[in-house]
Amino acid sequence: MKIMILAAALVAASAMMAAAQTTPAPSTEGKMPAVATPNTKNPTAPVEGANSFTEAQAKDRIEQGGYSGVTGLKLDDKGVWQASATKDGKPVKVSLDYQGNIVAM
């Protein structure tokens, strides 16, 4: 009796694994991430959109990107944070979009 129960459990487990392997993953084609992952860049950045970064979070994110002396931080009408900063001893204008992309100009 125990062998039959064990055999039935193994058959059921095998069927579940087979079903899990044939289920297709959801498509992400054409979708933009809400926040960019580290070490990736969006070639269309800065991306316009509803920005949820607070001023302090935006400044921290820019500083974590290697910029210092962040001043004049303002959220523009397109949802992109704009500021002046310094990188490698040179003054630059930087933008931070809602995805977390930092773009120097």
Cβ proximity of 81 and 51 under 8 Å: yes
Give the 3-state secondary structure of residue 44: coil
Where do the domains of the chain lie? 2-104
- Angle, alpha carbons 74-37-84 (nearest 5°): 25
Give the pLDDT confidence of 86-100 residue by residue, as tens digits: 999 999 999 999 999
Give the 3-state secondary structure of residue 18: helix
Give the pLDDT confidence of 10-58 residue by residue, as tens digits: 566 555 555 545 445 444 444 455 554 555 566 777 989 999 999 999 9
Contacts of 71 (CB under 8 A, 6+ apart): 83, 84, 85
Tokens matching residue 19: 């079903």
Peptide bond into 46 cis (omega under 30): yes
Q: How many CA atoms lie within 13 A of 69 on its CB side?
A: 10
